Structure 1
Amino acid sequence: MKRLFACAALLLMAAGPPPARPASPPLKAGAIPPGDAPGARDASVLPRYAGGILLESRDSAFDEIRLPNAPLERQSDKVDAHNNDVYLPPEPLTVEGRLTRMSYLQPEGRSALEVVRGYQQAVKDAGGSVLFECSGDACGGSAVKAARSGGSKTGIIHMLYPYDMIAGPWTECVLQEDRSGQRYTLLDLPKAGGKAAVLAWTVGDVSAGSNCKAWVGRLVTLVVTVETAKREQRMETTAASAMGQGLAQEGRVALYAIQFDTAKADIKPESRPQLAELVSFLRGAPATKVLVVGHTDNQAGIDYNLDLSRRRAQAVVAALTSAGIPAGRMAAQGVGMAAPLASNETEEGRAKNRRVELVKQN
């Protein structure tokens, strides 16, 4: 196959954010755009496929995502918020860093195989590697349903770009219609640059009354990159006295210095000072009963976030019980993304929403 990206292009683009391409004027949903969406930018670590139009980009300075690294399998009796049976890899690859999601419209006449091979070749030429690839039903889950589907199966598309994250009118047409010819690859970017996931397919039949008929038969691609990045440490330990004041004045207090491993309920060692202050407060107020409430941002499904927040709250209660606080004084509760303190549209907002709260019961 003809090589689509030169090694030099990848290395040059990794040196800094590429310049934005000329943007097309705003169009109504369903129209084929003549150029990039206003304000959309490619990720700095991976060039686009030649001739592709950038439909939408969403960037977070530091976030986490679970990437498909093996065929998806049915997760017992779990269903998502849209009543889809949940399919996931046995052990998804969870990565964190600068997260960028992008959607592209590819030139007419290109195939999903050609586009995926182009991305693979560009990464390998620069010293990276292919970690996983699959096509069609061999990927597991649904290879044809849209991101907005309900009553079916989840698939790779649901892991990479949840439907509730769609912002641009063009991406709406890309992700709301059925698909065909799916191909996927997971890439290890060179020089510890992170990971990239590429999913390509042809837009299938549109629903009755859809204004996206012009997209039928067009090849589109989702590209997700995670660049290695160090998280800025902003968490401060809340003193026992401040906990008492917060509960007395507002009935609740947020504890951001209780930290967890990515996508897990394991309390990180750096949380010990905060746990010590929490133990000190509870010992000094023996009549106080509290709820330990876990909160998440909106970067995964509702059911996933509810379960994760619940397990994290339970882990905190278990740690406090081990420190001698009677279990009867505490109850663990997980609310997932249901009670944000800030917008989930920015990393700063999501960081504020990921927290453990102490709520007074009596």
Structure 2
Amino acid sequence: MTQLLHKANRLLGNALLAWMVVTPCGVAAAAAAQDHPLLSGMPGYTIESRKHIDFGTLPDAGLMYCAPSKKCDATNPGFSAEGKLIAEGEVTVIRYETQGAGGTLPVARSYEAAIRSIGGRKVTWSEGHEGTQIFLIEKDARRTWVVLENYFKSNYRLTYIEEKPMQQVVTANQMANAIRQQGYATLYIVFPNNSAAIQPDAKPAINEIVALLATDKSLRLSVEGHTDNVGSASANKKLSQDRAASVVKALIEAKVDSSRLQAKGWGGEAPIADNRNEEGRAKNRRVELVKLK
């Protein structure tokens, strides 16, 4: 990360640094110490609020369209087919404000230039300097989305989404206890956006399901996929069915008898949390192992 910041400093030049400083280290001010490591605040602005969560997505639910064709699912990672930013990972939200003159144009131009200098690109449809701009930085096989909300002269907000899967492995014993007590166990297996492909990160969870079935030879399971309510109901139902089928396929490849398994997709029909916020949507994107009679 430090190398990225040094590169940004070299390329921006003194004229741009008069508006924005991308600092690699050694910042003395207490407020600057709370900046995101990738980018600092504009000179003359202070941090009004800062929020960080280990795993989530864009806090606001508004649609964000990317450029130039709006085919966000094909051209820009992290977007749904409808053009909504649905990237997930470590989220940091920082709001800056100033008591001085401020201005939306210098904020927009400075961040756009700074992000471009470290290998990022602008992926929003809107080309204006006011409003919401989304940038994507891809470095060392890791993606970071930067959302700049720049509506007022006196303040702006930066949201960083650093791609990573939500880590959660439920042990075979925990699954067995849940199935015994309530008839099902809940797993959070991370899939790529709009995809049913099993990722290497899912292997520990698959191994625990295999261990569960090996321990109880009479157990038969319905592997049931669930989504949040983002996107169309029909697409979500198909996606959840495909994901459940992918888990079943992985279990069969691990030598589980196919007669002990079935796959079912519910889409967003059975939420367990509030879809109006990201915390709830993350809980709704799940796989349940339901005991078959």
* Range of TM-score over shorter length: 0.5 to 0.7
Distance 1:61 1:117 in 2: 30
Quickly say closer, same or farther: Cα 1:189–1:284, change in 2 above 3 A.
Answer: closer
Report how many aligned residue pairs link the two structures.
258
Instruction: Say if 2:153 is the partner of 1:221.
Output: no
**1:128 CA drift (Å):** 0.8
**1:4 CA drift (Å):** 4.0
User: Deviations for 1:163-207, whole angstroms, at most 9, x for unmatched residues?
Assistant: xxxxxxxxxxxxxxxxx944625153888886352434446xxxx
**1:227 CA drift (Å):** 4.5
Alignment correspondent of 2:226: 294
Instruction: Say if 2:241 is the partner of 1:249.
Output: no
| SS of equivalent to 2:67 | coil
TM-score between the two structures when normalised by the length of structure 1: 0.51
| SS of equivalent to 1:313 | helix
**1:222 CA drift (Å):** 3.5
Alignment correspondent of 2:291: 360
**1:47 CA drift (Å):** 0.7
**1:339 CA drift (Å):** 0.8
| SS of equivalent to 1:12 | coil
User: Deviations for 1:242-277, whole angstroms, at most 9, x for unmatched residues?
Assistant: 645432321211235x44346632122424413423
Alignment correspondent of 1:266: 197
Alignment correspondent of 1:91: 75
Alignment correspondent of 1:209: none
Quickly say closer, same or farther: Cα 1:71–1:279, change in 2 above 3 A.
Answer: farther
| Amino acid of the structure 2 residue aligned with 1:331 | K
Aligned 8 A contact 2:240 2:265 in 1: no
Alignment correspondent of 2:121: 131
**1:60 CA drift (Å):** 1.7
Instruction: Say if 2:266 is the partner of 1:333.
Output: yes
Alignment correspondent of 1:120: 112
Alignment correspondent of 1:276: 210
Quickly say closer, same or farther: Cα 1:68–1:351, change in 2 above 3 A.
Answer: same
Which of 63, 66, 71 is matched with 2:68 structurally? 71
Quickly say closer, same or farther: Cα 1:6–1:129, change in 2 above 3 A.
Answer: farther
Quickly say closer, same or farther: Cα 1:183–1:244, change in 2 above 3 A.
Answer: closer
Quickly say closer, same or farther: Cα 1:47–1:5, change in 2 above 3 A.
Answer: farther
Distance 1:245 1:93 in 2: 38
Instruction: Say if 2:1 is the partner of 1:3.
Output: no
TM-score between the two structures when normalised by the length of structure 2: 0.61
Aligned 8 A contact 2:90 2:161 in 1: yes
Alignment correspondent of 1:163: none
Distance 2:263 2:66 in 1: 39
Distance 1:56 1:236 in 2: 35
| SS of equivalent to 1:10 | coil
- Root-mean-square deviation (CA, aligned residues, Å) is 4.9
Identify unmatched segments of 5+ residues in structure 1.
Answer: 22-40, 75-87, 140-179, 204-217
**1:59 CA drift (Å):** 1.4
| SS of equivalent to 2:195 | coil
The residue correspondences of 1:1-362 to structure 2 (distance < 5 A) are: 2-4=15-17, 9-12=22-25, 19-20=30-31, 42-52=35-45, 54-63=47-56, 70-71=67-68, 73=70, 88=72, 90-94=74-78, 97-105=89-97, 110-123=102-115, 128-132=118-122, 136=126, 181-182=130-131, 184-186=133-135, 188=137, 195-202=144-151, 218=153, 220-227=155-162, 235-239=169-173, 243-256=175-188, 258-261=189-192, 264-269=195-200, 270=203, 271-277=205-211, 280=214, 284-285=218-219, 288=220, 290=222, 292-294=224-226, 301=230, 303=232, 306=236, 309-320=240-251, 324-326=257-259, 329-335=262-268, 338-340=271-273, 355-360=286-291, 362=293
